[in-house]
Structure 1
């Protein structure tokens, strides 16, 4: 398994992971009709643009197939003083979850945020998404909540934060040794 920075030719593989992981992760949370309308083609266009403007990392298996991705950059809302970076997205195909790959993707984004001069990070996750416990397991502290609407359904998002990326990365490195 390899973690590397995404390039424009990765957009198709990222789109596939994005759509497939939404359909498995959000089944029973997000309306089925919304999930079924997601398309690889529209997500591929989205990721072509995203790769050009922000830090996107991919996880590849031994066959060089993209099995996960993460992206990050400047915190976008301005609602959380003291938090300047953000983990925008992280998704893994269901069969590759719970193997440490997500942690490696978060580390890649956090290290990149530090290189860009950011010192902290947030992430937004649906309250009903069991993956939110992943953020808690790696030291994320809940710092806020927002209501959103997806496919006509009102949902609650929880915002987690890491105040000091250097300490966060040091703690993850210590856990790994």
Structure 2
């Protein structure tokens, strides 16, 4: 296996990040999202969004590499109030120290090689350095693989569900949370 690593993304990485996102969503979410939604994903728009994410000071975009290839990515930063709100809409007492993993994707052909763990571990390190003590993420309820990945890291559902309109139906997501002192990498 070539050298595996994680680094902060650069603007030149945006096109590859977009490609990985779209290819992975089309493969992994084929049963979760309507076909017309997946077919309508636009690479140019995705690339522009990821280029903006690289420049966003509020979050950090990391890329996993194996040799010269980008094989996955992760976005982490402080959790917005609406993402961590309690059932009554209020924010938790520890709101100032809650970080969020907004996206973590490893291209399926590079799976099972530790890239996801390295991405999550690096993101958790970054969150800790920023003063965060706890993290959250949202995972499609039907995505048992991602749910199991976060559970192995020590995160668990906190009982909060949300329903998203996919443009052709709905998809339920559950919120997982745990310490940024992870048990796996």
Same fold (TM over 0.5): yes
Match of 2:52 among 44, 49, 53: 49
TM-score (norm 1): 0.90
Q: 1:81-100 counterparts in 2 under 5 A?
A: 81=92, 82=94, 84-100=98-114
- How far, CA to CA, are the matches of 2:129 and 2:118 in structure 1? 17
- How far, CA to CA, are the matches of 1:9 and 1:151 in structure 2? 31
**Structure 2 stretches lacking a partner, 5+ long:** 87-91
2:126 counterpart SS class: helix
Structure 2 partner of 1:38? 41
Q: What is the CA RMSD across the aligned residues, in angstroms?
A: 1.4
Structure 1 partner of 2:70? 66
Per-residue deviation at 1:145? 1.0
Per-residue deviation at 1:97? 1.5
Q: 1:77-116 counterparts in 2 under 5 A?
A: 77=82, 78-80=84-86, 81=92, 82=94, 84-116=98-130
Per-residue deviation at 1:7? 0.9
Match of 2:153 among 120, 138, 145: 138
- How far, CA to CA, are the matches of 1:40 and 1:155 in structure 2? 23
| CA-to-aligned-CA distance 1:84-134 (integer Å, 9 cap, x gap) | 100010011111112211010001111111111111100101001132221
- How far, CA to CA, are the matches of 2:28 and 2:167 in structure 1? 15
Counterpart contact for 1:13–1:65, Cα < 8 Å: no
2:184 counterpart SS class: helix
Per-residue deviation at 1:151? 2.2
**Structure 1 stretches lacking a partner, 5+ long:** none
Counterpart contact for 1:146–1:156, Cα < 8 Å: yes
Counterpart contact for 2:25–2:38, Cα < 8 Å: yes
Structure 2 partner of 1:25? 28
